[in-house]
Structure 1
């Protein structure tokens, strides 16, 4: 698999800006709970904007309520499921990145299943027929992807290329941008290709340390100007993949991708520095002992006074039984208390020390 592109001066400058922002964030120390809250906010924004690109009707505030509080919106059940599945999928992306899980075809098919059907779904098979991308308002043909018989071979080639590229000197943002482009070009599934392509790019960035503390939402900048996003992906005038798209010059797409990434990275670096400069209430000493999952749940208490096991399960992408085991352990560690002992709808609240800390954090 050979991609055609040329490194331009703009691309080189954007790569330099990305590295500078990484260094700024790496050297800036934030209180752990604040850092976890910023990660939660970024994950919610990524969830909202990547689904909004595909037509999801929930607002950012509604998406946050759906994924963190399990709120339902009558008449928009599909939109709610979509953001809930996407949020859990992005949590899984973070886990795979932390574990350095290799990018394989099976992982990509599992990622798609998480996004489209939720945590209990089996890995999605590749499409066995043709799908067509049309302009929503006019029905005009926009893109005709490869025939289904060619999809398995193209996906094998893409995964093999990612493996080789990660071991070479090619900058990671370029690898992520090219993988994003090639995935949507192949369009290996009937639906959910855009969301999966963006999640795959995020995974590739996170695996190689380009997570910027996981405070970023690249999808946000795409959604702000969809014409620019889709225009950059249109690298060839012909709608048929066999009529020149495979040999298209991808410089324009990479210019767009790196420009967008650099803009988000610069913005986050400035925000992190500003947050670090603000005076903060001292953290309880025990707070530093909480692991990542406990910090995510602690962050939920900035929006509500009590939680159920179902709330914890939704926030962490766990089964209700696993959530019950976690909350029982946290009660034993004395940072959670049982607010309502009802067996089926048991609710938890923070202990007094943690309530004081979260109240101070919410007031800032």
Structure 2
């Protein structure tokens, strides 16, 4: 069976690019913690939006979808799931809530991973929930002509329980070493988890839930307020490329973790930057929702679309954004560029 040597792999990763990412994230973490302590009330809206976006994005990556209205009702526990997809979405919602509320009491052990997987499928009626795979699986890519290409062959089913136990033990030992930064250990663990591919189904969603769990346990809680799953979904092609590059020669123990680790650190930096920009809008005293739309456009260099505006302030409805845009065009403060789905807006700097 393949060995898991976190310290050796860790030392290979300390490139200038990775160290720069680590420095940025540590600084952001300190700033965020100070803000959370001082402005907890202002973050409730971000928390609610992130839950919805995380649940939607992580399931959408796997082709599990429902309507926006049904999704919001399911995440807010206002309705019972009806379809197979909705049942899996409800399971994700519950596991995400468990991690949000109790991460300090959920150590990454095989029995815990199985319990989380069981809860992921508790509405679906599937017997696979909470059980390691009972047959070998492959990671395949389907080509436009319908042909499938095997990209990776994970650990065989008979070896999976032992592999997960060894991985969790090695990770726990590495986390005890004060010289090793959890920000590098966590994506190494996640890549190994994905290469083991321990379940018949749900490996991708479990990997993203475990990412959040391990980040939260190390004090990096930005994922509560900015959806890390959405950032991954929005860069899905790059995610899969990094995963493929880092899994090459994994069984031989000669794979390069750098592409996947660097990608995940970049996602984390993007989440902290997004948090910072949204906090500025949320905490400006006396700023109405139309005024927040105005500030977004004013502080954005170049063109910005309506969907980009809504992504920056997801608590503002589409109707409110449209009304604010119409008023700003009428007053001459912004300029409308193009038409139809290619419409964008820019601040009218000639008036300044």
Q: Shared fold (TM-score greater than 0.5)? A: yes
- Alpha-carbon distance, 1:25 to partner: 1.6
1:33 CA drift (Å)? 4.0
2:51 aligns with 43
Instruction: State the distance in 2 between where 1:188 and 1:180 align.
Output: 12
SS of the residue 2:76 aligns to: helix
Q: Do the aligned partners of residues 122 and 193 (structure 1) sit closer, same or farther apart at CA in structure 2, a change above 3 Å counting?
A: closer
Q: Which residue of 2 aligns with 1:92?
A: 98
Shift of 1:122: 9.6
Which residue matches 2:71?
63
Partner of 1:54: 62
Q: Deviations over 1:113-138 (max 9, x none)?
A: 11133499997121121012221343
Match of 1:142 in 2: 151
Aligned mate of 2:113, from 108, 111, 127: 108
Q: Tell me which residue corresponds to 1:194.
A: 204
Structure 2 Cα separation of the partners of residues 136 and 117 of structure 1: 29
Alignment-derived partner of residue 180 in structure 2: 170
- The answer (yes or no) to whether the contact 2:84–2:124 under 8 Å persists in 1 is no
Q: Distance in 1 between matches of 2:155 and 2:196?
A: 6
Determine if contact 2:246/2:257 at 8 Å carries over to the other structure. Answer: no
Q: Displacement of 1:176 after TM fit?
A: 1.7
CA distance in 2 between partners of 1:117 and 1:69 (Å): 15
Query: Deviation of residue 212 (structure 1)?
Result: 2.8
Whole-angstrom CA distance in 2 between matches of 1:216 and 1:119: 28
1:78 aligns with 84
Corresponding pairs, count: 277
Q: CA separation of 1:180/1:236 partners in 2, compared to 1, >3 Å: closer, same or farther?
A: closer
Measure how far apart 1:223 and its partner are. 0.6
The alpha carbon displacement at 1:102 in A equals 2.3
The alignment's C-alpha RMSD in Å is 2.8
8 Å CA contact 1:24, 1:269 repeated in 2: no
Evaluate the alpha carbon distance shift between residue 28 and residue 280 of structure 1 in structure 2; reply closer, same or farther with a 3 A threshold: farther
TM-score (norm 2): 0.71
Q: Residues 73 and 153 from structure 1, CA distance in 2 versus in 1: closer, same or farther, beyond 3 angstroms?
A: closer
Q: Which has the higher relative contact order, 1 or 2, with Cα contacts under 8 A spaced 6 or more apart?
A: 1
CA–CA distance in 1 between the matches of 2:228 and 2:270? 9
What SS does the aligned partner of 2:151 have? strand
Q: 1:72 to 1:106 in 2, by over 3 A?
A: closer
Show the counterpart of 2:5: 2
Q: Is the 8 A contact 2:195 2:247 kept in 1?
A: no
Q: Which residue of 2 aligns with 1:268?
A: 275
Mean Cα displacement is larger for which, 121-130 or 205-214? 121-130
Q: 1:162 to 1:70 in 2, by over 3 A?
A: same
State the distance in 2 between where 1:7 and 1:61 align: 45
CA contact (8 A) 1:217 1:264 kept: yes
How far apart, CA to CA, are the structure 2 residues paired with 1:176 and 1:60? 32
Deviation digits for residues 280-339 of structure 1 (CA, Å, limit 9, x no counterpart): 89xxxxxxxxxxxxxxxxxxxx99xxxxxxxxxxxxxxxxxxxxxxxxxxxxxxxxxxxx
* Counterpart Cα distance in 2 of 1:117 and 1:132: 25
Contact kept, 8 Å, 1:176 with 1:202, in 2: the verdict is no
For residues 138-161 of structure 1, what are the alpha-carbon distances to aligned partners after superposition, in whole Å with 9 as ceiling and x for unaligned? 322122111112111210111112
Deviation digits for residues 91-119 of structure 1, max 9, x if unmatched?
Answer: 1112331x433221110001111113349
Compute the displacement of 1:227 (Å): 1.2
**Helix, strand or coil: the match of 1:247?**
coil
Q: Is the 8 A contact 1:110 1:122 kept in 2?
A: no
Unaligned 5+ residue runs, structure 1? Answer: 282-301, 304-364
Classify the secondary structure of the residue corresponding to 2:35: coil
